[in-house]
């Protein structure tokens, strides 16, 4: 309910639903002082609030009296179902219990006032709610950065797409100080939570089961916090249960994450991307992760071509992971000439630090901090942000330029080129 405020929406500034005449009088007095219409202060308490908001737009600030509520947490949850994201809710009641207070706050209530109410107490609380709405989205000043969505896709299984996703999530949140969401759409086998040493929770499964429930409040509740700046939505769905979705839950999640965070990183398995290409249509950057092998070269060609057809204008950065200069299957040059474009960032094969990170339950990039390997993550972040902060026309131009390098020709032709390149490689050996 106190999810990010959407400016420009046509909302009432204030609604109140109280249980008794004294409270009504007091609330009307304060509302009048603050310049809000007093006719929006009603009797009827929490139940009336739920009924009214189920058929009308939610106000910016909502005051609810819970004195007549037998099960406050349950009733607040019912309110959450009908209350649009962005509304700041202040509750009042007669129960003086710190556990209830905490539970209410964690349900998204901004403040809980103990009755009988004093006029100063109510005025302070409402003024604070108003200040919250007019303040920048993130009090730490990071909220003025435009949102950027990053989609990470591996060209084949096991090339390191999830390693790159979790590492970038850590780097953007901890090093660039951005409020970051990591959405792991590998519903059965995702490793986002495992890598960050977290329990995945039920959030993603609930979202898939009930896409209509996805809103700002849902996001706030469902996301698992890895740190102050990094939150995760993932699942470990039972493997006997197929994921039944038309993709609407995934789109809706992307939409809500865009409202709530400064950076969204979506780890998208190819088998999810293919049926739902629009999942990447809003992505500012697509990071395509590959290893430097023949099979990956073939699939990089195929995926680049797929992006070109399905999300024209998408900005694709190519990351070559697990690179080994001496014993690798292909050299960087061979790989690049076969795919007819250059690799943007190369991440070396680094089993030592990767396994250390796994044992510590930390992303690989965190372990790279302060080492030479850490430069790779700074470079990748810079590449991503350059595109994010640049004029969109410039990004399109840059993308077009890199596409110009692709000299066209059929996919088969390209694979044929790759074959001849490989025979040259064979001849050298
Ligand atoms: N640069 C690297 N050096 C060494 N090992 C790496 C490197 N990058 C990733 N790995 C390891 O490779 C394995 C696969 O990585 P990861 O799970 O990130 O790949 P993926 O592309 O997401 O796989 P999947 O197709 O299962 O989603 C993991 O054990 C990971 O720790
Ligand atoms: Mg993965």
Residue nearest to atom 16 of ligand 1 (CA): 160
Quote the DSSP letter at residue 235: -
**Nearest by Cα to 187 from 213, 207, 212, 169:** 207
Q: Listing from the earlier edge strand, what are the strands of the sheet with 111-114?
A: 41-43, 14-18, 61-65, 88-93, 111-114
Q: Name the pLDDT band for 350 (thresholds 50, 70, 90).
A: very high
Contacts of 11 (CB under 8 A, 6+ apart): 57, 58, 59, 60, 86, 87
Residue with tokens 């759409």: 185
Ligand 2 centroid – CA 151 distance (Å): 12
Q: Is the CB of 154 under 6 A from ligand 1?
A: yes
pLDDT at 20 over 60: yes
Ligand 2 centroid – CA 160 distance (Å): 7
Ligand 1 atom with the shortest distance to the CA of 191: 17
pLDDT of residue 86: 73
Q: Which domains does the chain have, with CATH numbers?
A: 14-134 (3.40.50.2300), 144-428 (3.40.50.300)
Ligand 1 atom with the shortest distance to the CA of 166: 18
Buried b (16+ CB within 10 A) or exposed e, 145-154: bebbbbbbbb
- For 27-61, what is each residue's pLDDT tens digit? 999 999 888 999 999 999 998 999 998 888 889 89
Q: Name the pLDDT band for 135 (thresholds 50, 70, 90).
A: low
Q: How many Cα atoms are found within 13 Å in the side-chain-facing hemisphere of 56?
A: 13
Cis geometry, peptide bond prior to residue 268 (ω within 30 degrees of 0): no
- Provide DSSP, 130-158: HHHHHS-SSTTTGGGSPPEEEEEEESSTT
Give long-range contacts, CB 8 A cutoff, 24+ apart: 218-222.
218/256, 219/3, 219/253, 219/256, 219/257, 219/260, 220/3, 220/108, 220/260, 221/108
Measured distance CA(100)–CA(96) in Å, rounded: 8
Probe target for ligand 1 pocket from 157, 163, 265, 289, with the most ligand atoms within 8 Å of CB: 163
Q: Is the CB of 350 under 6 A from ligand 1?
A: yes
Residue nearest to atom 31 of ligand 1 (CA): 354
The alpha helices in 210-266, defined as continuous H runs, are 216-222, 248-260
Q: Is the CB of 319 under 6 A from ligand 1?
A: no
278 vs 406, residue with greater confidence:
278
- For 236-272, what is each residue's pLDDT tens digit? 999 998 888 989 999 999 999 999 999 999 999 999 9
pLDDT of residue 361: 94
- Least confident window among 17-26, 210-219, 227-236, 295-304: 210-219
Ligand 1 centroid – CA 321 distance (Å): 9
Q: Is the CB of 159 under 6 A from ligand 1?
A: yes
Residue nearest to atom 25 of ligand 1 (CA): 157
Question: What is residue 427's three-state secondary structure?
Answer: helix
Q: Is the CB of 291 under 6 A from ligand 1?
A: no
Token pair in block for residue 272: 């999810």
**pTM: predicted TM-score of the whole model, two decimal places:** 0.65
Cα distances from 220 to residues 216, 278, 302, 389, 411, in angstroms, run: 6, 24, 37, 27, 44
- For 205-238, what is each residue's pLDDT tens digit? 999 998 988 988 889 888 999 998 999 999 999 9
pLDDT at 307 over 50: yes
Percentage, residues of the chain above pLDDT 70: 85
Q: Is the CB of 107 under 6 A from ligand 1?
A: no
- Least confident window among 199-203, 216-220, 326-330, 413-417: 413-417
């Amino acid at each position: 309910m106190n999810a990010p405020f959407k400016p420009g929406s046509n909302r009432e500034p204030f609604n109140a639903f109280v249980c008794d005449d004294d409270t009504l009088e007091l609330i009307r007095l304060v509302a009048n002082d603050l310049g809000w219409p007093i006719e929006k202060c009603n009797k009827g308490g929490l139940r009336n609030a739920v009924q009214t908001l189920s058929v009308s737009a939610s106000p910016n600030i909502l005051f609810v009296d819970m004195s007549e509520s037998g099960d406050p947490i349950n009733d607040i949850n019912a309110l959450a179902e009908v209350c649009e994201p962005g509304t700041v809710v202040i509750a009042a009641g007669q129960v003086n219990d710190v556990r209830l207070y905490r539970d209410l706050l964690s349900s998204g209530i901004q403040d809980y006032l103990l009755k009988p109410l004093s006029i100063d107490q109510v005025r302070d609380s409402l003024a604070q709610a108003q200040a919250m709405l007019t303040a920048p989205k993130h009090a730490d000043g990071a909220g003025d950065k435009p949102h950027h969505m990053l989609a990470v896709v591996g060209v084949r299984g096991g090339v390191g797409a999830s390693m790159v996703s979790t590492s970038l999530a850590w780097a953007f949140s901890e090093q660039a100080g951005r409020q970051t969401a990591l959405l792991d759409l590998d519903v059965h086998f995702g490793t986002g939570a495992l890598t960050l040493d977290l329990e995945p929770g039920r959030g993603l499964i609930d979202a898939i089961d009930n896409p209509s429930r996805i809103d700002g409040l849902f996001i706030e509740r469902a996301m698992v916090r890895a740190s102050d700046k990094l939150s995760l939505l993932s699942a470990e769905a039972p493997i006997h249960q197929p994921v039944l979705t038309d993709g609407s839950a995934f789109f809706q999640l992307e939409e809500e994450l865009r409202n709530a965070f400064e950076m969204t990183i979506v780890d998208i398995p190819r088998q999810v991307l293919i049926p739902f290409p629009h999942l990447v249509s809003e992505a500012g950057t697509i990071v395509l992760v590959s290893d430097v092998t023949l099979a990956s070269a073939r699939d990089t060609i195929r995926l680049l071509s797929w992006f070109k057809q399905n999300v024209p204008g998408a900005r694709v950065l190519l990351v070559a992971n697990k690179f080994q200069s001496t014993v690798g299957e292909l050299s960087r040059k061979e790989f690049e000439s076969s795919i007819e474009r250059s690799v943007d960032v190369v991440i070396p094969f680094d089993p030592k630090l990767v396994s250390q990170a796994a044992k510590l339950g930390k992303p690989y990039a965190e372990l790279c901090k302060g080492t030479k390997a850490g430069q790779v993550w700074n470079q990748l972040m810079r590449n991503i942000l350059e595109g994010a902060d640049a004029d969109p026309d410039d990004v399109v131009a840059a993308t077009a330029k890199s596409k110009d390098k692709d000299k066209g020709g059929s996919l088969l032709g390209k694979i044929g080129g790759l074959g001849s390149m490989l025979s040259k490689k064979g001849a050298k050996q």
